[in-house]
Structure 1
Amino acid sequence: MLLRLRALPLLAALLALVAIIIMLRLGFWQLARAEQKQVREQQLEQRLALQPLSLQDINRQVGDVADFPVQVSGTFNTNRILLWDNRVVKGQVGYEVLVPMATNYGEVLINLGWLKAPALREQLPAIALPTHRLTLDGMIVVPGHNPISREVLESGWPKRIQQPDLSYVADILQLDILPYVVQVSNTTQFGFQNNWRPVVMPAEKHLAYAVQWFGLALACLIVTLVAITKQRKKHGKSISP
């Protein structure tokens, strides 16, 4: 019985140690994310200060092309509209409207902005886009790969997609598209809302989360040490003559 009683504090200490290690790892992960966000914010600030580039200039860039301002000219393929599903703005669910544009430098996917979804899921919004040649200002966005469901719900057009995975989008559109998306700056000209957020969570927020995890780890360590000390004193008294 005495061995069992002594085993219980040991097990509790091991569990506390595991919890502390997990919290420390989460804290260091948040620090790494904060550093990544700081680099991204600096890059964004530097590139926003540039004059808009052409698609030809973008295609000549070596390395990451995200966040470059760009000016594109071309015509929309209005028969191939995609609706990026489950995009929320101010608590309202809607879609971001994506459409391929034919340019002199290739087909590029354009994000025209957000619109509210109809009340019924079965309904799709009616979208009217200009068919004449346009010149648009925007930013280069490079979507990340996401293994979320790629199911296309509609047999016709427009089609809903869960993520703008460009290899998948190219298959749907049956087009060779450039490896990035142009996020239009002035979305209101098409009746949509700009929902582009280049940095969703700033570096400061990650730092605050890191401090919280380190604080929890410290608190857990202190509580564990206090409990072990009390347990030892208790056992010491119980076995004293």
Structure 2
Amino acid sequence: MGVIRRPAWWSVLLTVAGVLVFARLGVWQLHRADYKEELLRRYAAAASAPAQAFDAMAAQPPVDVYPRVRVQGHYLIDRVYLLDNPKHDSMGGVEVYVPFQPMHRDRLLLVDLGFLPGNGTDKPPQLPPLSSDVQTLQGVYQPAPGKGIELGGNALAQQAQWPKTSIYLDLDQIAADLHARLFSRVLVLDADPAAIYVRVHTLDLSSMPPARHRAYAYQWFTFAIAAVVIFLVLHRKRKRRLG
């Protein structure tokens, strides 16, 4: 004698559809986790890759590729931006960005100088002076950190003195602030033991790292199992009471 009573066709269809959808979403999340891990591997390899000419990558860098480039030009030393939301929050301090004018180019390149530790006060740390001479820079040409919703609107437009501080890095806002066009990516400088800046950079996947994708996959697979369990529980035969 079976323990499951014959279910209605619609309940079978609904359960099968739910299980397939949940399983498909779980598999998709696993694929996204693998994809993000591959991006991280590519980014890690870029730090030791040979430097390429910036002009070859400037306008249209390959998608999901992080080339290490060499570029010559000069800093706009009086236009400094401080990102007050870096990954080194436990140390206090800011990530420092400066626009850079590559030679023979009509756009500016935003350069990430690195993280500058705080001084124990609410005031920004003292910035070391920059040279206005022609510089040759090397680093990874990568997308800017993810931007979010900044309460109070465009913080840069509300500041009259330099350096300017923001909790998000928005290239469109910076371009408008500078009245200039910017390249679509930023240059993250190579590590330099002699520099005062901390340059331990990683690809910004904080909003959805591989581990979170796997956690969501586990959740979707759990939903699929739960759908089957609920179906069985609702359709199990009840023992008849002997009168």
The alignment's TM-score, normalised by the length of structure 1, stands at 0.72
Task: Kindly state the Cα deviation for residue 160 of structure 1 after the two structures are TM-superposed.
Answer: 1.1
Name the structure 2 match of 1:151: 155
Amino acid at match of 2:68: P
Out of 162, 165, 177, the residue aligned to residue 172 of structure 1 is 177
Aligned mates of 2:44, 2:30 — CA distance in 1: 21
Amino acid at match of 1:128: P
Task: Kindly state the Cα deviation for residue 130 of structure 1 after the two structures are TM-superposed.
Answer: 2.4
Amino acid at match of 1:107: L
Out of 213, 218, 225, the residue aligned to residue 212 of structure 1 is 218
Would you tell me which structure has more helix in proportion to its own residues? 1
Name the structure 2 match of 1:114: 115
Amino acid at match of 1:161: S
Amino acid at match of 2:169: P
Amino acid at match of 2:155: E
Greater shift after overlay, 220-229 or 107-116?
A: 220-229
Task: Kindly state the Cα deviation for residue 218 of structure 1 after the two structures are TM-superposed.
Answer: 4.4
* Identity over aligned pairs, percent: 18
Change (3 A) 1:118 1:228: farther
Greater shift after overlay, 212-221 or 134-143?
A: 212-221
Aligned mates of 1:53, 1:113 — CA distance in 2: 21
Out of 183, 188, 206, the residue aligned to residue 183 of structure 1 is 188
Q: Is the 8 A contact 2:93 2:125 kept in 1?
A: no
Does the alignment pair 1:130 with 2:157?
A: no
Change (3 A) 1:93 1:220: farther
Q: Is the 8 A contact 1:33 1:206 kept in 2?
A: no
Amino acid at match of 1:89: H
Task: Kindly state the Cα deviation for residue 158 of structure 1 after the two structures are TM-superposed.
Answer: 0.8
Does the alignment pair 1:192 with 2:197?
A: yes
Amino acid at match of 1:237: R
* SS state at 2:86 partner: strand
* SS state at 1:102 partner: strand
Aligned mates of 2:126, 2:18 — CA distance in 1: 52
Count of residue correspondences: 221
The alignment's TM-score, normalised by the length of structure 2, stands at 0.71
Change (3 A) 1:161 1:20: farther
Q: Is the 8 A contact 1:88 1:94 kept in 2?
A: no
Measured on the aligned residues, the alpha-carbon RMSD in Å equals: 3.7
Change (3 A) 1:88 1:180: closer
Change (3 A) 1:155 1:188: farther
Gaps of 5+ in 1: 1-15
Q: Is the 8 A contact 2:32 2:210 kept in 1?
A: no
Amino acid at match of 2:88: V
Q: Is the 8 A contact 2:118 2:125 kept in 1?
A: yes
Gaps of 5+ in 2: 1-14
